[in-house]
C-alpha cells in the first residue's frame, strides 16, 4: 500500500452547453490561456502526481493545438486519451479502462473537473495527505454556509433545509484504481465518482477544500475565475 502512486484523470469531453460558447468551455480562454490548461499545468507541475491523463472525445479538434501552443504536446507526464463518452461517468470509466496497463489496482486516481481551473498544487497535496492510506478514499468539499430552501413547482420556498452536516462536493475525488473502476462499472446513474463509491455501501472521506476551486458553469462564473487566477483575490 505504501508504494502506491498517484495519477490525475481529467474528463474533458463535455461541450459546456450552459456556457453558451462557440467552443467547448474547457477550451475557452481564461486569464490568458484555455481553461483546461490551468488544470493540466497544475497536475503536471505537482511532483506527487506520477502521470496525468486527459480524456477527450474522439472527435475533439482542439486538444492538439492547445497543447502545442502551450509547448506540452510531448510532455512526458501527460497523455491524451481519445475515448470520451456522452457523460462524465462514461468518460471516466473509458479512461480508467484505457489506462489499465499503466496503473495498479492499489494506485490512487485523482479525478478532477476540467472546469475547475482554480485548483492549486497545495490543494492536491492537502487531499493526498488527508486521505493517505484511508480504506475508502475521499474528495475535496466545502461545508454549506448558505441557508437552503426547498422549492415547489412554482419556485416558491416550501421548506428550509437544515445545512448542518451538508457539504458541497468538489474535485479532485481520490480513490484507488480497483475500487473506482468497480464502482463505476455498476449499472447506475451517478453524478460523481464519490456517489458511485457510496452505492457500494462505503463512505468516502470529506476533506475541506477551498472556495476558489469552484466549477465554471455559467457565463458569470468566468469573471470570478479570472479574479482568482490573476491573483486578485
pLDDT value for 23: 85
Spatial separation of the C-alpha atoms in residues 48 and 95, rounded to whole Å: 20
229 confidence band (pLDDT: 50, 70, 90)? confident
Percent above pLDDT 70 for the chain:
95
pTM of the model: 0.93
Phi, psi at residue 4, to the nearest 5°? -60, 145
pLDDT value for 227: 82
Handedness of CA 136, 138, 143, 146 (dihedral sign): negative
Average pLDDT over residues 213-227: 84
Is 21's pLDDT higher than 70? Answer: no
DSSP β-ladder status, 108-111 and 33-34: unpaired
Q: How far is CA 91 from CA 12, 83, 131, 163, in A?
A: 8, 7, 24, 32
Residue 18 is given by DSSP the state: G
Q: Which helix (DSSP H) or strand (DSSP E) does residue 160 occupy?
A: strand 157-161
Is 22's pLDDT higher than 80? Answer: no
Of 12-16, 34-38, 141-145, 172-176, the one with minimum mean pLDDT is 12-16
pLDDT value for 25: 87
Average pLDDT over residues 140-166: 95
Residues 56 and 12 sit within 8 Å (Cβ to Cβ): yes
pLDDT value for 106: 97
Going by C-alpha positions, the residue among 72, 65, 89, 68 that lies closest to residue 11 is 89
Residues 68-99 have pLDDT tens digits of 999 999 999 999 999 999 999 999 999 999 99
pLDDT value for 2: 52
pLDDT value for 167: 97
Spatial separation of the C-alpha atoms in residues 129 and 183, rounded to whole Å: 23
Is 17's pLDDT higher than 80? Answer: no
Average pLDDT over residues 31-53: 96
Which residue ranges form the domains of the chain, and what is each CATH number? 6-229 (3.90.550.10)
Tally helices (H) and strands (E) across the chain. Answer: 7, 11
Is 16's pLDDT higher than 70? Answer: no
Quote the mean pLDDT of the chain.
93
In sequence order, what are the residues at sequence separation of 6 or more whose Cβ sits closer than 8 angstroms to the Cβ of residue 207?
126, 127, 130, 131, 138, 139, 140, 141
* Cell digits of residue 78: 501527460
Amino acid at each position: 500500500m505504501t508504494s502506491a502512486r498517484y495519477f490525475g484523470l481529467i474528463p474533458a469531453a463535455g461541450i459546456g452547453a450552459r456556457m453558451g460558447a462557440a467552443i467547448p468551455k474547457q477550451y475557452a480562454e481564461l486569464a490568458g490561456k484555455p481553461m483546461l490548461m490551468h488544470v493540466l499545468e497544475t497536475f503536471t507541475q505537482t511532483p506527487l502526481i506520477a502521470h496525468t491523463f486527459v480524456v477527450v472525445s474522439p472527435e475533439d479538434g482542439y486538444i492538439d493545438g492547445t497543447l502545442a501552443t502551450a509547448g506540452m504536446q510531448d510532455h512526458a507526464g501527460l497523455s491524451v486519451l481519445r475515448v470520451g463518452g456522452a457523460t462524465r461517468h462514461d468518460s471516466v470509466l473509458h479512461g480508467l479502462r484505457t489506462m489499465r496497463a499503466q496503473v495498479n489496482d492499489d494506485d490512487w486516481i485523482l479525478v478532477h473537473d476540467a472546469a475547475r481551473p482554480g485548483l492549486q498544487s497545495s490543494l492536491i497535496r492537502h487531499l493526498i495527505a488527508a486521505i493517505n492510506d484511508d480504506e475508502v478514499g475521499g474528495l475535496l468539499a466545502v461545508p454549506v454556509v448558505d441557508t437552503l430552501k426547498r422549492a415547489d413547482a412554482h419556485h416558491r420556498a416550501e421548506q428550509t433545509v437544515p445545512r448542518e452536516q451538508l457539504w458541497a462536493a468538489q474535485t479532485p475525488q481520490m480513490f484507488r484504481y480497483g475500487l473506482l473502476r468497480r464502482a463505476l462499472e455498476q449499472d447506475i446513474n451517478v453524478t460523481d465518482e464519490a456517489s458511485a463509491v457510496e452505492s457500494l455501501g462505503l463512505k468516502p472521506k470529506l476533506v475541506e477544500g477551498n472556495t476558489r476551486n469552484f466549477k465554471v458553469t455559467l457565463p458569470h462564473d468566468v469573471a470570478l475565475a479570472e479574479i482568482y487566477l490573476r491573483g486578485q483575490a
